[in-house]
Structure 1
Amino acid sequence: MKIEIKHHCRDFDSYRSARVKSLFNAENGCDWEKTVELPIEGKKWQIGLIVGPSGSGKTSIGSRLFSGVGIYDLYSGWEKDKPIIDCITPDGDFNTVTGMLSAVGLGDVPAWLRPFHVLSNGEKFRAGLARLASERPDRAVVDEFTSVIDRQIAKVGAAAFAKTWRRGKGQIVLLSCHYDIIEWLQPDWVYDTAEARFYDRDCLRQRPQLELQIYKVRGTVFPRLFKQHYYLDLPMPVAAEYFVGFINKEPVCHLAVTPLFTAKAYRSTRLVVLPEWQGIGVGTKFLAAVCEYHLQGNGRCGKKLPVFFHTSHPQLCGALRHSKKWIQTGALLYGESRKHATISYGKHFRAIQAFKYIGDNDNQDIRE
């Protein structure tokens, strides 16, 4: 595929314009031309990346890649008087929308109930990706990919989006001025506008491996670091032990485990993954590791017992239901709204499902 770009604007003859031309020998400021060769025709691919510094032609190239396909704007078209959950494919399936929000890392449920314009930059970026993934066009081009968010959210968000996009069909080209997302995104091809160089996925380094270290902590850590991201208002669990997962010495996830010895088990609760780390599977791996720790007899009183976990999050329910490490023990239906599959617990009416961790006998390293 050959793309030729020719931009022309008025050739100004003001005093300052003339002086700039004389000082810097810049006679052609009104013309900008670029020719790009992208050998992508006839190849099977889903994700492409055009990367390079500002002003190097990324947007111009992207706008000419697909005939009749313009630049997709993640940030426009949102209604100010509706929460984002109502703005993403309004006629589509509810579970599909919530699944896309979680898949791109926006699993912070209270954020679903806010209008787009009040979200943080990181939340807006992920909401836009969720809408794009829900609409699933055959071809799309996204400009300024990850440009307005901090780099940690950008890298994890790129990995989460790539995983989500590859589950379906369609081709997408992302335009970005940041090179740090390449390893995380793992695109099928990359064109670097700074070097005028094209290379495919075989030339990329593997995605960085993340080491999750789990520590037992005091209960005071939860209200300081995680409570604002927990969507239920519940009392502190009785006789609980608290665990926090760290990546690169930064706290990223939290879980509390309390004895449930009358049922010959433990109960885990207050699973929280910080927003900037959602969407890449950290939460489910962390949950399984802590539950395995208790199953091996390392929990309170040293009992080798299974761990129960209750959740109403549809995507987390789906993940646990499809995992060999968990079995579903049922849907708990209590309270006045029993016929609607909801329970009243902690001043909330919500659908809830129960799971039991049965493990795979892997030893986990959790530090005191």
Structure 2
Amino acid sequence: MRISITHESPDFDSYRAARVRSLFNVEDGHRFVLDVDLPFSDPWSLGLVVGPSGSGKTSIGRQFFGAERFASFDWPAGQPLIDAIGPALSFDEVISTLSAVGLGSVPSWLRPFPVLSNGEQFRASLARVLCEQPAEVVIDEFTSVVDRQVARVGAMAFGKAWRRTAGRAVLLSCHYDIIDWLQPDWVLDTATGAFTGRYLRRRPEIALEIRKTGWEWWRYFEPHHYLRVPRAIAARCYVGFVGGEPVAHMAMSTRPGLKEARACRLVVMPDWQGAGIGLRFLNAVCAAWRRGDNPYDRPMPTLINTSHPGLAGALRRHPLWAQVSASLHGSNKKRSAEKISRSAGRIKAGYGGHFRSVQGFRYVEGVGASGVSAVGARPKGLAP
């Protein structure tokens, strides 16, 4: 495929224009010419045009599929995100897509698009592209309006999700740091005119350090958890750090008889959602408890209950987890409170009284089923 672009504007002869031409020896500043050859040989689904501003990326994007294929959306200001995205799709399909691009913070789903942060708007737009699944699409200014951490993780999440569709996408970006994370089928650098086919480099590793903590870190994670419930009684907390930054949280407690552990309060910070950290973090802690690396020095399998459709779907597909229960609604909260009061005396709390579906999963793998050697030990690199 050959792309030839010529843009011309009037050759202005004002004093200032003439002085600029004289000072900087520019004789043809009114003309932009670009001629590149894209030697596609294999079927492709995801391409990247990268280069500095003014180097012709948008013009190249128009040459691929036409200006009408550029992604552009009108967002209703009076609807929450969960209603504005994929209205013809099922609820679970929309939830799955939002989680796939890293927008897994449930409170964000209940807000209209205009009030979301730049990072959330970026991911919401990617989710909408994935829900609509156009046969051909061009996304301009890809990752340009978000910080670089969100850009890299968002690029990786979108790349993985887009490859599950049958369409072709061309992304236009000023930033080279997303290439290793995006893993495009080809890259065109408009700064040099170089074309690189089939990009086969390995993604950068994410070194995750897991520390045993108390509840002191929970205040940073709580706004991003989908439930507003008291802290788990007698729980031990774990926090995952990347480069000293807290990115994941989970609490571990035990069930009666000390035969099984229970995981709860699993949260991944929004900027890191979509990188696969949450499930690897969960598996690392559960593997440690299964080995007996816990406060009780005895091996325990782990049970986790969740009503988050994205997490439930991921655990259902994962070979280390088995689904053991599913309830369409909570139990009777009054009876639960009475039972807890009889067994614990002064405690008056009760569980249940809601209509959300709760699914239970058990960690079934034995020792060594994790990308991290041991909780609290020096971690290995955790590849996304």
Aligned to 1:71: 70
AA at the equivalent of 1:47:
L
- The CA distance in 2 between the partners of 1:21 and 1:304, in whole Å, is 77
Regions of 4+ moved over 4 Å: 344-348
Aligned to 1:5: 5
- The CA distance in 1 between the partners of 2:20 and 2:330, in whole Å, is 77
Secondary structure of 2:149's counterpart equals helix
Is 2:20 the partner of 1:20?
A: yes
AA at the equivalent of 2:279:
T
Aligned to 1:164: 161
Aligned to 1:362: 368
Where does the alignment leave 5 or more consecutive residues of structure 2 unmatched? 334-349, 378-384
Paired positions, count:
357
Aligned to 1:61: 60
Secondary structure of 2:206's counterpart equals coil
Match for residue 301 of structure 1 among 289, 296, 305: 296
Is 2:218 the partner of 1:229?
A: no
- Whether the aligned pair in 2 keeps the contact of 1:273 and 1:283 (CA below 8 Å) is yes
Aligned to 1:33: 33
AA at the equivalent of 2:147:
D
Match for residue 77 of structure 2 among 77, 80, 87: 80
1:214, distance to aligned residue in structure 2 (A): 1.1
- Whether the aligned pair in 1 keeps the contact of 2:240 and 2:249 (CA below 8 Å) is yes
AA at the equivalent of 1:218:
G
CA displacement 1:223-264 (0-9 Å, x = unmatched): 1x2111112111111111000112223221000001212473
- Whether the aligned pair in 2 keeps the contact of 1:259 and 1:300 (CA below 8 Å) is no
- The CA distance in 1 between the partners of 2:25 and 2:267, in whole Å, is 59
Secondary structure of 2:121's counterpart equals helix
Secondary structure of 1:366's counterpart equals coil
Aligned-residue Cα RMSD (Å) equals: 2.0
- The CA distance in 1 between the partners of 2:15 and 2:215, in whole Å, is 69
- Whether the aligned pair in 2 keeps the contact of 1:288 and 1:359 (CA below 8 Å) is no
Aligned to 2:252: 257
1:346, distance to aligned residue in structure 2 (A): 7.0
Change (3 A) 1:139 1:302: same
- The CA distance in 1 between the partners of 2:15 and 2:181, in whole Å, is 49
Where does the alignment leave 5 or more consecutive residues of structure 1 unmatched? 338-343
Aligned to 1:341: none
1:328, distance to aligned residue in structure 2 (A): 1.1
- Deviates most, 94-103 or 258-267: 258-267
TM-score, normalisation: structure 2: 0.88
- The CA distance in 1 between the partners of 2:298 and 2:233, in whole Å, is 17
Matches within 5 A, 1:182-221: 182-202=179-199, 204-221=200-217
CA displacement 1:92-142 (0-9 Å, x = unmatched): 122111111000100011101111111111100000000001111111111
1:57, distance to aligned residue in structure 2 (A): 0.5
- The CA distance in 2 between the partners of 1:124 and 1:44, in whole Å, is 31
- Whether the aligned pair in 2 keeps the contact of 1:104 and 1:129 (CA below 8 Å) is yes
- The CA distance in 2 between the partners of 1:198 and 1:353, in whole Å, is 48
Aligned to 1:141: 138
Aligned to 1:118: 115
Change (3 A) 1:138 1:31: same
Secondary structure of 1:258's counterpart equals strand
Aligned to 2:343: none
- Deviates most, 4-13 or 43-52: 4-13
- Deviates most, 324-333 or 190-199: 324-333
Q: Percent identity?
A: 50
- Deviates most, 84-93 or 100-109: 84-93
- Whether the aligned pair in 2 keeps the contact of 1:3 and 1:35 (CA below 8 Å) is yes
Matches within 5 A, 1:39-54: 39-40=39-40, 43-54=42-53
